[in-house]
Structures are given as structure tokens and as C-alpha cells.
Amino acid sequence: MYGPKSYDNQLALITHYLHNREFAKDFSVEQAKKYLKEYLEYKCPQVKVTDDILREPLQAGLFNDFFQIPFPDPIDYRFTFIDLFAGMGGFRLAMQAQGGKCVFSSEWNPFAQKTYMANFGEMPFGDITKEDTKKYIPEKFDILCAGFPCQPFSIAGVSKKKSLGRETGFLDKTQGTLFFDVAEIISRHRPKAFYLENVKNLISHDKGNTFKVIRSTLEELEYSIHYKVMDGKDYVPQHRERIMIVGFDKRRYHGQENFEFPNANNPIKRMRDILDNYPDAKYTLTDKLWIYLQEYAEKHRAKGNGFGFGMTDLDGISRTLSARYYKDGSEILIPQGPRMNPRRLTPRECARLMGYPDEYIIDKVSDLQAYRQCGNSVVVPLITAVSEQLVKAMFNN
């Protein structure tokens, strides 16, 4: 019996087929048609499933809900991109704003996949470290986007090989890390450009060795590298420093691309600008939690430590929103006057703090999962500003 559970496992393939048929590989198209046929025979037994319907299911009035979404692909797109470690979709918003069409997406977290699907009508593929996922990436695309997680690199093997007079390829240097998978995809598909984002500490991690390996690996693949630590506070009322890494194919641009990171010319943002007028009372801290946070802060203050809650200046900016915000909200608390306990941000306010528009759907998952997704996300206006410069340089050259 073909049921919904097995269908869910193939939703990425089906939705990518519906949105990106012209970019899909032949085997991917045949698989998608097979799963479409199985699903339709199970779900719509009254429909006679013909080859014409499988080729053009939308014309038969099927799956239109995958296109009735807040953020569809541009109709007349200017370039193509893939979205790796896609999260809730910040990179995709930024690239679509430049006229880009996403032809492949990947995200392993099922809750983030759900949010992504709600906004773009496309279920991301799963674990990008698996060859079974990578095989669905189209042969050609213009830009690779990835907010890949930071992992330590072991350089012991590299040092040993060099001491023996042997050269090391990028596979040796990065094997076993998520960056390896990004580098491998760049090497295999050779996009015109890439855009990577990571935590600020990537530069200093392991005494600078981690970033040294990343940079040398990308240069070994014959890409020119531009990088800069940028702060989200220039675009949203949040202190959030991240490293932006942009690269261009030297075989195509010969290192002559005219790329510069943007200068923020935005007006100063304030926390009060992103707050709801009437937040639900459930976001106000309980007496027990509020007392605990105050005692915890006092204990560390007595020891000379800086740990403690962050009461936000409503006319200023907040601390960095973390993925653990759902636990107690202590890093960003909103004052509510002398007679009320402070409150945590609502999920919608967190999305605004990351620069997502209010029409962005975040309520397909629980508050806990929405907090996690926002805390792991990119600052959308910052990514958009860098994307604009990247695309401009790509077309000018």
C-alpha cells in the first residue's frame, strides 16, 4: 500500500521536479514521475494518470498549492543558484531579490524544511553529505550559497604529508567536515561564484588554522576570495557579527571581478520598531524564572563575571539572538515597566529581528522550533546587500 509516509520521503524530489523541471537530470525526472504516479493513484484514484498529466501536472489542476506561496521564484530570472544548509530560507530571499532562481535546496532539519516548504513551495532535500542527495544537484548553476556550520579541521595529517614532501589536495585537508562537502560541490560543478556565511570566530578558530585551510582550499580550486566580518546591526537592531566569504571562478573572471562589500547606509534601527503592540501574556516571564535569572546574574556579578540576562534598550539594539533563545529568552528581554516582569520576544519579533518580512510564514512549526530557526538564521537584509554586490560583479564581468 502506497501511503502518505512514503510520499513524504519523496516530497523533495517531486517539488523540485515541479519547480525546476528544465534543470533536473534525466534520472531525476523519471523518478519524480514514478513517485507522482504512485501518489496520484493513492490519493486521487478517480484521476486517470496519463503521461501527459505526469509531464504537465499543473495544467491538469494538480499541485497548484505548491505555487500559491508568499515567495515564488521570479518569472524572468537572471541567474540560477543552489541553497545549501538552507535553514528557514534567508539566502533564498536574498538571491530571489536579485532575480535569482533556486534550482536546488538542501536542509536536514525537518522543522526548517517545513518552514521552507511553506514559503517557497519546495521541500529541501536532506543530508547534503550523502551522495544520494548530491546526485540531484543540477550539473550547471551560477551561484552556490551556503551558511555551513563551523567544524574543527585536523591539520595533523596535512603537516605529516608536507614533512614527507607530498602535496595535499583539498580532499585531504577537509575530509570529514561539512566544509568538505561544500568544497567538493564547488569543485564538481564549478559555479561562477559562491557566497558562504559563518560565525565571526571562524577566523580565529584553532589559532587561525581553520580559516587558513578554508581559504587555501578555495584558492586551490582556482577561485579568488573576498571576505569580511560584518555586523547585522547596520541592517537590523541586533548586534550579530558574521564572516561573509565570496568567491569568483578564476578560470572565468581571471581575478578581475570588480567586487566590493557593501557599505551600510541604512538609518539606525531601534528595538521598539520590531515589537508587537499587544504580545500574548504567555511571553512574560514567570515570577519563578525572573527571580532565578536575577539571582543567577547577581551570583556571577559577585565573582566578577559578565554572565547574566540582557535587558534590552528599546531605543537601542539587542544582543545576538541564539538558537537556545527558547529556553529562557535571557539574552534578549523586553522591559514592560516597573510593575511587570520582562518578557521574551515572540517568534514573529525574532523573525523581524533577523530581517524577515511579516508575510514570511513561521507558524507552521511550534514556538520552540521557530525560535531555533531564527537563532540559526542569517540576517536577511545583510545577506541581500552582499548578494546585490555579488550579482552586480558577476554580470559586470
Distance CA(152)–CA(297), nearest Å, equals 32
What is the predicted pLDDT for the residue at 226?
Answer: 98
What is the predicted pLDDT for the residue at 207?
Answer: 84
349 contact partners, CB below 8 Å, separation of at least 6: 274, 275, 276, 279
What is the predicted pLDDT for the residue at 65?
Answer: 84
Q: Indicate if 188 and 234 belong to the same structural domain.
A: yes
Whether the Cβ atoms of residue 289 and residue 328 lie closer than 8 Å to each other: yes
Number of domains within the chain: 3
Distance CA(209)–CA(381), nearest Å, equals 30
Q: Indicate if 184 and 100 belong to the same structural domain.
A: yes
Q: Indicate if 172 and 26 belong to the same structural domain.
A: no
Distance CA(328)–CA(309), nearest Å, equals 9
What is the predicted pLDDT for the residue at 269?
Answer: 83
Catalytic residues: 150
Q: Indicate if 388 and 242 belong to the same structural domain.
A: yes
Q: Indicate if 57 and 90 belong to the same structural domain.
A: no
Distance of CA 364 to CAs 367, 373, 375, Å?
A: 9, 12, 17
| Residues 96-144: tens digit of each pLDDT | 999 999 999 999 999 999 999 999 999 999 999 999 999 999 999 999 9
Partnered with residue 83 across adjacent β-strands are 105, 145
Q: Indicate if 303 and 361 belong to the same structural domain.
A: yes
What is the predicted pLDDT for the residue at 174?
Answer: 66
What is the predicted pLDDT for the residue at 149?
Answer: 80
What is the predicted pLDDT for the residue at 171?
Answer: 56
121 contact partners, CB below 8 Å, separation of at least 6: 15, 19, 65, 66, 67, 68, 69, 72
345 contact partners, CB below 8 Å, separation of at least 6: 283, 321, 325, 329, 332, 334, 353
Distance CA(86)–CA(96), nearest Å, equals 14
Q: What is the largest CA-CA distance in the chain?
A: 75
Domain final residue pick, 19, 38, 65: 65
Question: DSSP state, 225?
Answer: E
* The three cell numbers locating residue 223: 577561485
CATH number reported for the structural domain that contains residue 195 in this entry: 3.40.50.150
Q: Indicate if 19 and 119 belong to the same structural domain.
A: no
Q: Indicate if 78 and 200 belong to the same structural domain.
A: yes
The string of DSSP letters for 61-122 reads T-SGGGTSSSSPPPSS-SEEEEEES-TTSHHHHHHHTTTEEEEEEB---HHHHHHHHHHHS-
Q: Indicate if 110 and 229 belong to the same structural domain.
A: yes
What is the predicted pLDDT for the residue at 216?
Answer: 93
Report residues of the chain scoring pLDDT below 70: 1-9, 60, 150-176, 265-268, 304, 306-307
**103: domain range?**
70-265+379-396
First to last CA, the chain: 54
CATH number reported for the structural domain that contains residue 278 in this entry: 3.90.120.10
